[in-house]
Amino acid sequence: MADNLESQKAVAKPASHAKNDYEKDKFILRQLVTKDFKIKYRRSVLGVAWSVLNPLLMMVVMSIVFSTIFGQSRNGSITPEMYPLYLIVGNITFSVMSESTNQALMSIIWASSLLKKVKVHRWVFPVQKVLFSLVNFSFSLVAVALVMLFFRVVPTWHLILLPVCLLLLMCFCMGLGMMLSALAVFFRDVMHLWTVVITAWMYLTPIFWTTDYISQMAHWIQVLVVVNPMYNYLQFMRDIFLFNTVPSALTFGLCVAWAILALAIGYTVFHKTEHKFILYI
């Protein structure tokens, strides 16, 4: 599509069309993420500050609820001073997944008017939603830094593994997002179902309860919790933020495996069905 640049008469102007699909998609992704960002904070007084405030406020609410009302859910390995940090790291990591998949789920349906008129790679829409949640996540990190500062937690070199963890989590979310966005085109039920799945998933993942609890659970739930992809991503994040260790080989291996598996399934489902989208949106 963009392979002929030589027909440009205006010499002074830069090349009109992107050199290749990669350049084109990169520019589209950047524009779409910028658009979402601008729309999210348009006409709000605090604007971007909400991305920092929101996780902080959530953390405050949750730490009050779970250290007073459900005090016993936190015991053993997590000291009271560490609990807020434990909460916020878990919460923002889980939010990346829940927000990005919720948005990706609808992405193709929302882009329907566009897909009916312009030729554009369809995968950019779910992928863009995941990238947007990554942008939000980076603001949430400011909140984490503030919490660490407040509780005088000194970060260690283990934090250099953060990009690795994020990359794996992004791949996982993109795979999931692509699969859900394709399914939602054919069956709108998916969007109702996914809300329930996310809620169940949230309780199954140690966001506010600590991992010491797992040993008290029924055996089959134990298995469910440990193979749960989000359990592993949260473990990875807390290892580098709180426990200052390199994640165990098992955690790391499962994180990688889930990322590859999700991406493979998501891509396959999306690729197999995408040419039929236009007839259903």
Partner 1 sequence: MTESAIDYSKQPLAVEVKDVTMIFNMASESLTNLKEYFIKLAKHELFFEEFRALKHISFDVHRGEVVGLVGTNGSGKSTMLKIIAGVLEPSEGEVKVHGNIAPLIELGAGFDPELTARENIYLNGALLGYTKEFIDASFDEIIEFAELKDFVDMPLKNFSSGMVARIAFAIATITEPDILIVDETLSVGDVFFQQKCERRIQHFIESGDVTVLFVSHSMEQVERICQRAVWIEKGDLRMDGPVDEVCKAYHDQFK
Q: Specify the DSSP class assigned to residue 68.
A: I
Of the pair 196, 279, the CB lying nearest partner 1 is at 279
According to CB under 8 A, which residues from 92 to 121 bind partner 1? 113-120
Tokens of 31: 């524009």
Query: Binding of partner 1 at residue 219 (CB under 8 A)?
Result: no
How far apart, in whole angstroms, are the C-alpha atoms of residue 225 and residue 217?
10
Q: How far is the CB of 146 from partner 1 (least distance, A)?
A: 31
13 in contact with partner 1 (CB under 8 A): yes
- Asked if residues 238 and 211 have their Cβ atoms less than 8 Å apart, the reply is no
Considering only 13-21, 72-80, 222-230, 252-260, which stretch makes contact with partner 1 by CB under 8 A? 13-21
- Of the CA atoms within 13 Å of residue 128, those in its CB half-sphere come to 23
- Please select the residue that binds partner 1; options are 77, 155, 189, 245, rule is CB under 8 A: 189
Return the closest-CA partner of residue 85 out of 152, 27, 158, 176.
152
- Cα radius of gyration (the chain): 21
Q: Is position 28 an interface residue for partner 1 (rule: CB under 8 A)?
A: yes
Q: Residue 228, Cβ neighbours under 10 Å: how many?
A: 17
Question: Which of 6, 11, 42, 220 lies at the binding interface for partner 1 (CB under 8 A)?
Answer: 42
Enclosing H/E stretch for 66? none
Q: Does 275 bind partner 1 (CB under 8 A)?
A: yes
Q: In this complex, which beta carbon is closest to partner 1, that of residue 162 or of residue 281? A: 281
In this complex, which beta carbon is closest to partner 1, that of residue 3 or of residue 69? 3
User: How far, in Å, CA of 240 to CA of 160, rounded?
Assistant: 8
- Select from 37, 50, 139, 186 the one that contacts partner 1 (CB under 8 A): 186
The reply on whether position 191 binds partner 1 by CB under 8 A is no
CB of 48 to partner 1, least distance (A): 17
Do 122 and 24 form a contact (C-beta atoms < 8 A)?
Answer: no
58 to 64, 92, 269: CA distances (angstroms): 10, 10, 35
Q: Does 188 bind partner 1 (CB under 8 A)?
A: yes
- List interacting residues with partner 1 (CB under 8 A): 1-4, 7-9, 12-18, 23-24, 27-28, 30-32, 34-35, 38-39, 42, 113-120, 186-189, 275, 278-280
